[in-house]
Amino acid sequence: MIAANRIHQLRDEIRRHEELYYMHAAPEVSDADFDALMNELKALEADHPDLLTSDSPTQRVGGRPAEGFATVEHLQPLLSLDNAYNDDDLRAFDERVRKGLAIETAPVYVAELKIDGLSIALTYDEGRLVRGATRGDGTRGEDVTANVRTVKAIPLSLKHGPAGRFEIRGEVYLPKQAFARMNQEQEAAGEPLFANPRNTAAGAMRNLDPALVAKRGLSAWMYQVVGPEGAGASKDAPLHAQMLRDLKAWGMAVEPHWQECNGIDAVIAFCDAWRDQRHDLAFETDGVVIKLNDVAMRERLGTTSKFPRWATAFKFPAERKIAMLHRIEVNIGRTGAATPFAVLEPTVVAGSTISMATLHNPDDIIRKDIRPGELVIIEKAGDVIPRVVGPAHPEAADRPAPWVMPTDCPTCHSPLHKPEDEAVWRCENSSCPSKLRRGLEHFASRGAMNIEGMGESLVAQLIESGLVKSLADVYQLTAETLEGLERMGQKSAAKVLREVDKSRRNPVWRLLYGLGIRHVGERGAQVLADHFGSVADIQAASLEELQQVHEIGPVLAEAVRTWFDEPRNRELIARLQAAGLTLTGERKVAPAGPQPLAGKSFVITGTLTSMSREDAQATLEALGAKVTGSVSKKTTALITGAEPGASKTEKASALGIATLDEAGLLALLDSPS
């Protein structure tokens, strides 16, 4: 069939041009010629829909926003890396490796530039991309497949890749040029600038509209293959260097500056060379990742609960510059915390212009003897967060007068208070506009009520216009009032109101977190919601009852009790309930009485038929057991379902750890002891 042949030819040609452009920066055709090829393919697929496949280059950009992101389990936990900050740390790492392997000779390492982006896990099945997931908590991540498909550096199908189902790990990042373009667009629109490429890339990848993600210009580098149950490499790639070559041969983008290093001295030389060279790259990097080249040696070393013993991340030292400190101002946060910050002469540090920097608290300013009106040393911690290190010339005789912490709130002019046991001053006025503004930003944030569109600019207008004087006022907003605000047309107003309405149905824990109760983070909010089930029951709980909840300590319990004891906060809850928000959920409390499996630890591998692995874990935990993702000497037993992971069963056998099949698990749950 002529159409089928032409479609196949176009797809191959477009993929080749995408690889040349996005992975090798060596385009052979103009943008217009590339667009012509893509348009021809789109037209042919429209005329022959039966020939359309999911890995066609035309299928990168999704047309509809997703309703949200499901969570998926990784084949193997994405562990963090231990850090090294200097040559001594690197030599100590090398010594631990050689001691663990019982070798005297210098092992071969692979040094790779550490990409400052968002970790991603790509699942390919028979060479086709079927899933993309964020790192998440390391065990489970967000399913962002639709967004991953928009990243042109990630192939939808592999060239001569291995058979079966496996994961490829890497980093999605935002090139410096794309980041600069985005900030230019933000500035032209009068919107706040994005802080740094890493956070912007992470935010883009979690956008619910793939079409918008495609416009960001994200790219990616890949660095690891993970087989079923977390095999470190394919049987044909016993060396990490070979794995990187395989990835490139399959059509994956691999950062080209990696190097095999014979011994730690070669690693140190590589790190030294890239301290300054990194600024010439088209992307941000904040260090070097060092890994053992030999995969069999890695398996012998194993991992801790957090880090692989065979790898470490060397962090480049923060770049320092001298800048004029014009003045010190105070910002009021959502909890009333008064945090001083430095207003600086704009200065380029580590590739970006810094005009403000954190100062932590007044005690820190006094300790460092930082004074407005003089030159100070500034740096970017981890090449991300700007901070003032100290005065550039502390020995000068004509230094300005020391800075004094103001006694009144700079926004509402109420007195600031500082508890004796704390270093932070606070504004206690619950009606303070700054507290309300920061509180509303937090309330609407993705981790809390997730009201998309209610960002800093809109929140500022809502507060300044008097439309919102309480969090509950958000649910009284109308299209007419929103359309009267700057840069808020009919469509934008309608979208915000849809998001506001959708937030009414959020689970209880999101509301608890969004309220901004001091010390209550996402995990604390989830624990409270699971234990009490409703906001009313939390409000009625005594301090003693709160402290009895597992994972809730005295400080958090006191903060919750204090918050609900405030009459204005109870009035807020009543108004939110009247506005139709979800204030009641499902209690998830472990049964009262003894927990017969307390102190025991289990690992589950394979597929269970009588229940899901999640249900098995929940049941074991309700009986007091701990369920982990990896086998260790502390594991009580390995629970195996169908097709269990070879690495886990082999390790359990080597350590002499008992193994339970599904029948054994059911017997244990029936009669735990």
672 C-beta neighbours (distance < 10 Å), count: 17
d(CA 600, CA 603): 11
118 C-beta neighbours (distance < 10 Å), count: 24
Q: Report pLDDT for 471.
A: 93
Are 197 and 139 in contact, with CB atoms under 8 Å apart? no
Each residue of 130-164: pLDDT tens digit? 999 988 877 888 889 988 998 989 999 998 888 88
Superfamily grouping for domain 83-315: DNA ligase/mRNA capping enzyme (3.30.470.30)
Are 289 and 311 in contact, with CB atoms under 8 Å apart? yes
- What is the share, in percent, of the chain residues with pLDDT greater than 70? 89
- CB neighbours of 601 closer than 8 A, spacing ≥ 6? 625, 626, 627, 628, 634, 635, 636
In this prediction, residue 370 has a pLDDT band, given cuts at 50, 70 and 90, of very high
**Burial code of 355-378, b = ≥16 C-beta within 10 A, e = fewer?**
eebbbbbbeebeebebbbebebbb
d(CA 387, CA 390): 9
| Domain ranges across the chain | 2-59, 83-315, 320-393+403-417, 433-503, 508-578, 601-670
Greatest Cα-to-Cα distance within the chain, rounded to the nearest angstrom: 87
Mean pLDDT, residues 11-39 = 65
> Is the pLDDT reported for residue 125 higher than 50?
yes
Each residue of 220-252: pLDDT tens digit? 999 999 875 433 444 556 899 999 999 999 999
**Domain 508-578 carries which CATH code?**
1.10.150.20
Q: How far, rounded to the nearest angstrom, does the alpha carbon of residue 614 sit from its chain's CA centroid?
A: 23
Each residue of 279-312: pLDDT tens digit? 888 898 889 999 999 999 998 998 876 689 999 9
Q: Report pLDDT for 620.
A: 84
- Number of H-type helices and E-type strands within the chain: 24, 22
Q: Report pLDDT for 208.
A: 67
**Domain 433-503 carries which CATH code?**
1.10.150.20
- C-alpha dihedral, 133 to 309 to 258 to 221, nearest 10°: 0
Element (H, E) at 327: strand 320-332
Q: Report pLDDT for 443.
A: 93
d(CA 542, CA 520): 17
**Domain 320-393+403-417 carries which CATH code?**
2.40.50.140
d(CA 376, CA 66): 48
The phi and psi torsions of 386 (rounded to 5 degrees) equal: -75, 140
| Active-site annotation holds for 321 | no
Q: Could you write out the DSSP letters of every residue in 131-170?
A: EEEE-TTSSEEEB-HHHHTT-TTS-SB-SSPPSSEEEEEE
Q: Report pLDDT for 429.
A: 75
In this prediction, residue 1 has a pLDDT band, given cuts at 50, 70 and 90, of low
Mean pLDDT comparison of 466-480, 481-495, 551-565, highest-scoring range: 466-480
In this prediction, residue 510 has a pLDDT band, given cuts at 50, 70 and 90, of very high
Select from 433, 434, 432, 471 the least CA-distant residue to 454.
Answer: 471
For domain 601-670, say whether CATH 3.90.70.10 is its number: no
Multiple choice CATH, 2-59, 3.30.70.1150, 1.10.287.610, 3.30.465.10, 3.30.365.10: 1.10.287.610
Higher per-residue pLDDT: 526 or 214: 526
Are 398 and 379 in contact, with CB atoms under 8 Å apart? no
Select from 275, 166, 187, 172 the least CA-distant residue to 219.
Answer: 172
d(CA 66, CA 445): 18
In this prediction, residue 28 has a pLDDT band, given cuts at 50, 70 and 90, of low
Q: SS3 of 229, please? A: helix
Higher per-residue pLDDT: 426 or 376: 376
- Please tell me if the domain spanning 433-503 has the same topology as the one spanning 508-578: yes
Which one of the listed residues 42, 99, 114, 435 is annotated catalytic?
Answer: 114
**CA angle in degrees (0–180, nearest 5) for 650-654-658:** 85
Each residue of 75-113: pLDDT tens digit? 888 888 888 989 999 999 999 999 999 999 999 999 999
> Is the pLDDT reported for residue 599 higher than 60?
yes
> Is the pLDDT reported for residue 9 higher than 90?
no
